[in-house]
């Protein structure tokens, strides 16, 4: 996966550390949220997944930031509203 991101120019080699750290943290937080039995902790973990997934979306695409602002706002709105509809 990293070779594809680097070859396409979406991310630089020196930026891979933050990208994969956010990716692994996202996986860990999702697992913790799944097994959590406290509603307050679950909500905190849910919001943390929103932040980490936004990092994974925004970080490789910093060069195209002006076009992505509206998409990020829409994504954040969707992530805030979707738990309420469940």
Q: Are 59 and 11 in contact (CB under 8 A)?
A: yes
Task: Give the global pTM.
Answer: 0.63
Cα separation, 4 vs 67, whole angstroms? 22
Q: Are 39 and 83 in contact (CB under 8 A)?
A: no
**What band does 46 get if pLDDT is binned at 50, 70 and 90?**
confident
If one counts the domains in the chain, the total is: 1
Please give the pLDDT value at position 25: 92
pLDDT at 3 over 70: yes
Q: How many residues does the chain have?
A: 86
Mean residue pLDDT of the chain comes to 76
DSSP 8-state code for residue 9: T
Cα separation, 49 vs 51, whole angstroms? 5
Range of the domain at 13: 2-85
pLDDT at 63 over 60: no
């Amino acid at each position: 996966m990293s070779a594809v991101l680097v070859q396409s120019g979406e991310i630089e080699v020196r930026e891979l550390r933050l990208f994969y750290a956010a990716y692994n943290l996202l996986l860990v937080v999702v697992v913790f949220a799944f097994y959590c039995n406290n509603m307050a902790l679950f909500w905190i973990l849910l919001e943390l997944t929103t932040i980490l997934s936004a990092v994974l979306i925004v970080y490789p695409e910093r060069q195209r930031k002006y076009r992505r602002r509206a998409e990020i706002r829409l994504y954040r709105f969707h992530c805030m509203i979707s738990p309420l509809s469940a």
